[in-house]
Structure 1
Amino acid sequence: MINASVYAIVQNEEKHIERMLKSVADFAEIIIVDSGSTDKTLEIAQKFNAKIHHHDWQGEGVQKNYAFSLCSHEWVLNLDGDEEVSPELKAEICEFMGQSEFDGLDIKFHEFYMGGIVDDRVRKNTHIRFFRKSSGEYRNLGVHAQVSINGKVRKSRGVIYHFSDKPIKELVSKNNNYSSLRAQQKFEKGKKPSLAKLLFIFPLVFFKSYFLRRSFFDGKKGFIIAVINAFYAFMKEAKLYEIWLNKKGN
């Protein structure tokens, strides 16, 4: 038994959640915070003795912070319903808990999308997902909430597999919603639209995604994802400009 808590926020994840739960079945505690699943998500979670809580959706940051608060162990691991802990990472976590120098693991993500695994030469995203509970805090409760660690963080050797198999239609729809939220957050922080950003954010993000992150190794799929990433960045700036225009109109 691994003496740590796993926490996940979910909704309608019957396609993936069993894979995730199997990968952490030997953790001492599994916390599931559901925001209204209508499929078999909760039925599957019950098979793994997960502690299930309902919490109406209030944004990713609020949901994660609530799930995090329910964990009872010193060490915690945050997962999404469509993720899976690799055996190598699990062994690394067991070793990591026995040391006292570091308080968090910055974990590499290996992506699956558009029907297959991303080429291993594509640079992987990393996120702090395993950490000492007393050292972690969610400071930004908005879109794409990230935990902040008061302590030292080490890069992981093992990976989390992310089965991001959403069709392009769904991915673009999600980015459309997120870009609206991010633009509103920028406006509330007093950030103003910039012609330079409107002109250059798309090519800069495309260059970063396609060349610096080496998405070109993934062929046509890498090109498509780089364009989607660039368009998402552009939409945030365009919508910020629209908000300021409407404000001036009032």
Structure 2
Amino acid sequence: MFKLSVCLLTFNSARLLEEVLPPLLQVADEIVIVDSGSSDRTLEICQRFNLTLHHHSYSMHGAQMNYAISLATHDWVLCMDSDEILDDRVVDYILALKAEKDPEIDLAWRLPRYWYVLGQPVRTLYPVSSPDYPVRLFNRTQAQFNDRPVDDKVVGQIRCIKMPGHVRHDTFYSLHEVFQKLNGYTTRLVKYQNIKPSIGRGVISAIGAFFKWYLFSGAWRYGKVGVVTGLYATFYSFLKYFKSWYAQSDRMPLMKEETHKSRVSD
């Protein structure tokens, strides 16, 4: 039987935390909670469950999760976000897994994660389909999260197995959060990745995203939630190119001025 550290990231997570924690407490030998500055009832709820928060400034999701992993006592870790809720089948599977002999350290498990937007299940949310199967249970000596600014994942010398069950990923619970995350994700993408600055490419990409993620995916069948997921894909596809173009246009006058100064000094 191996010991399991659950690593949980929080930030203003009071909305779901009382549903998230009980199943995690069933499978965890310890819970490491890393909070990035909550101002709601997150701390109060954790204290009620006799859990301690570690405070750490947020840069990117992968880096934050790796920090939580570094605080764990045990090498086997289950990495969770505070909008993900394990069902009984996942809990039972993990408990049965722990009751067996120690697994080979290069094994890892994928959670069956089903996406919810505005409280309703969805089939697609750009750039993933639901369910998706992120690697979340692994031995930290063999793997860790990469440093991608958006859609990071676990990488390492591992062999992956899918768990049965249902993990409710209750994301985007309001329109405000939809647009807030849309803005944050695209800003980080432009900042940390080489996105070609082009409004034309952005328009073409947005049109393609609308057809693929709203019409062809069948999102149009799901009323307001389908419209939200379709527009999210469309705006995301456009904004990453537009923000790159805008950032480059801001840099161009400065570059010209520096070039002129250099020529004058020569």
TM-score by length of 2: 0.81
Distance 1:87 1:31, change over 3 A: same
| Runs of 4+ displaced beyond 6 Å | none
Shift of 1:22: 0.7
Per the alignment, in what secondary structure is the counterpart of residue 24 of structure 1?
A: helix
Residue 249 of structure 1 aligns to which amino acid in structure 2? Answer: P
Shift of 1:216: 4.1
Distance 1:208 1:75, change over 3 A: farther
Q: Which of 1 and 2 has greater Rg?
A: 2
Between stretches 39-48 and 15-24, larger displacement belongs to 39-48
CA distance in structure 2 between the partners assigned to 1:3 and 1:170 by the alignment: 36
Give structure 2 stretches of 5+ with no counterpart.
Answer: 255-266
Aligned counterpart, 1:21:
21
Shift of 1:49: 3.2
Give structure 1 stretches of 5+ with no counterpart.
Answer: none
Per the alignment, in what secondary structure is the counterpart of residue 166 of structure 1?
A: coil
CA distance in structure 2 between the partners assigned to 1:130 and 1:218 by the alignment: 33
Distance 1:37 1:194, change over 3 A: closer
Aligned counterpart, 1:207:
211
In the alignment, is residue 248 of structure 1 matched against residue 256 of structure 2? no
Count of residues paired in the alignment: 246
In the alignment, is residue 94 of structure 1 matched against residue 95 of structure 2? yes
In the alignment, is residue 166 of structure 1 matched against residue 179 of structure 2? no
Aligned counterpart, 2:152:
145
Per the alignment, in what secondary structure is the counterpart of residue 149 of structure 2?
A: coil
In the alignment, is residue 230 of structure 1 matched against residue 237 of structure 2? no
Shift of 1:25: 1.1
Shift of 1:217: 4.7
* Pairwise CA RMSD: 2.6
Shift of 1:84: 0.7
CA distance in structure 1 between the partners assigned to 2:150 and 2:130 by the alignment: 23
Shift of 1:21: 0.5
Aligned counterpart, 1:108:
112
CA contact (8 A) 2:199 2:245 kept: no
Residue 56 of structure 1 aligns to which amino acid in structure 2? Answer: S
TM-score by length of 1: 0.85
Deviations 1:197-233 (A, max 9, x none): 3232112223343356543453431232121122112
CA contact (8 A) 2:123 2:131 kept: no
Shift of 1:46: 2.3
